[in-house]
Structure 1
Amino acid sequence: MSQLKRLYVAGVRAVRPVAASVGLLSALEKQGPGSRGARWARSLFAIYDIDQMTRLDLAWWTLDALDKVDGFLKQRPNARAFEYGSGASSVWLAKRVAELTSVEHDGSWADVVAAKLRDFPNATLKFRPADDTPHADRRYASEKPGWVGRTFHSYVHAIDETEGSFDLIVVDGRARGACLDVARNRLAPGGMIVFDNSRRPRYRAAIAASGLRAETTGGLTACLPYPDETTLLRHGGT
């Protein structure tokens, strides 16, 4: 996390007890999910806090994407989902799908998320760290600060360990371009891929090359004080 982000998160966490004591947080929550501005404002106090995020029933996507994916899954009560990159979204998905498989590259974070998923027998979390030996194919390399030069072949291909197709696949972790390339071949007819933070230049080429129909949602994003993008991808004509 950059120094600026650290300062912002520390500031929010310092203010949160005060906001709670004066009734601001409860007032925002009483507005309900139908009040988008209140929903977003309340989420700002939950940044990098999985306990708060799961209590608020949020995933860290744009609010438009959250609503669209929620509606998509309500029409598919037996949906199977695969998720690259675990977190509050894992709990959010586990509440809405019949079967969830999530893969995580960070061991300490995997332990935190696994504890949150103990009450969901329909959810499986797999830990797949960076490759011990860097893979020769640089498509598997990460460009995220702190992980530059590390490759994630095992992580990307964790989806191959589960048979069948998936109604929903979330791409929100390491080596996202490679994840998308593999995921698009595992998507069920009428299925959807959720590609988060799609405004980042390093992801745009992968999305454009996927051959999938893209619907980009932007604007208010859970926990973020600035707008972001989440792109929803489907096979053409579905």
Structure 2
Amino acid sequence: MKVRRPSMFAQISRGLRLIYSERSFLAQQGYTESIKQKRPCKPDGTPLPWMNYQVVHFLEQRLRKDHNLFEYGSGYSTQFYARHAGTVTSVEHNRDWYNILNKNKPENVELLFRDIGDINGYCQAIAGGDRRFDIIVVDGRERLQCMEVAVDFLSEQGVVLLDDSSRKRYQDGRSAMKRRGFRELDFIGIKPGGLSTHQTTLFYKENNCLGL
């Protein structure tokens, strides 16, 4: 018995329904709205991190208002973390982008500017005081160096999040975290408005703040 395959038109039609139908997963997550607004957001325009939907959903469920978070690489994600965490400290290397973000930053956000070329600047921005952080997000420049510095400023229950962790140039950093005794949890999926899959990895130990 010959099996009839869907026509090219039928396949395209299904693909369009997946993206644009109000009942589809992508539309409900804000994928369509992200394309329209050219930024990661929910259907109502609320900002999201430019990370895959799986890890965004996980963070929405696990972040708490007693968490102190540090972020390498500021943006729409900074507003997302501010809604879910207690305090957010975020460092940005681009002066123009920093100025835009600084105009409307939430009250619980401390936004820092550090020049990427300053050896004591961007990566070392987390070392500006004696604070320890429950979550450290590495999603900006010089990610390997930032990860190396970050672990010394984790709280006892702290975790590190590395976005785009499947990239070849970040594998040495992943290996270094394993040698330090961290376990890994990978999240893989598409990002708002994107087409290909991306990976984000959480590094954690026992009794961590996210309940892993």
TM-score range, shorter chain: 0.7 to 0.9
Q: Is the 8 A contact 1:194 1:233 kept in 2?
A: yes
Could you list the per-position Cα deviations for residues 167-197 of structure 1 after superposition, in whole angstroms to 9, with x for gaps in the alignment?
1111011110011111112112232211111
Alignment of 1:30-179 (within 5 A): 31=23, 36-38=25-27, 39=29, 41-42=31-32, 44-45=34-35, 48-49=38-39, 55-73=45-63, 76-117=64-105, 120-131=106-117, 135=119, 153-179=120-146
**3-state secondary structure, aligned to 1:55:** coil
Q: Is the 8 A contact 2:93 2:115 kept in 1?
A: yes
User: TM (normalized to structure 2)?
Assistant: 0.78
Instruction: Let me know the Cα RMSD of the aligned residues.
Output: 2.6
Distance 2:26 2:99 in 1: 33
Residues 37 and 77 (structure 1 numbering): CA distance in 2 closer, same or farther, change over 3 Å? same
**1:121, CA displacement in angstroms?**
1.3
Identify unmatched segments of 5+ residues in structure 2: 1-18
- Residue type of the partner of 1:230? T
Q: Is the 8 A contact 2:40 2:193 kept in 1?
A: no
- When the two structures are aligned, how many residues end up with a matched partner? 187
User: TM (normalized to structure 1)?
Assistant: 0.70
Query: Could you tell me the percent identity over the aligned residues?
Result: 28
**1:116, CA displacement in angstroms?**
3.0
1:233 matched to 2:203? The reply is: yes
- Residue type of the partner of 2:55? A
- Residue type of the partner of 2:77? S
Q: Is the 8 A contact 1:46 1:53 kept in 2?
A: no
Identify unmatched segments of 5+ residues in structure 1: 1-23, 136-152
Distance 2:37 2:138 in 1: 20
> Which residue in 1 is equivalent to 2:12?
none
**1:130, CA displacement in angstroms?**
2.2
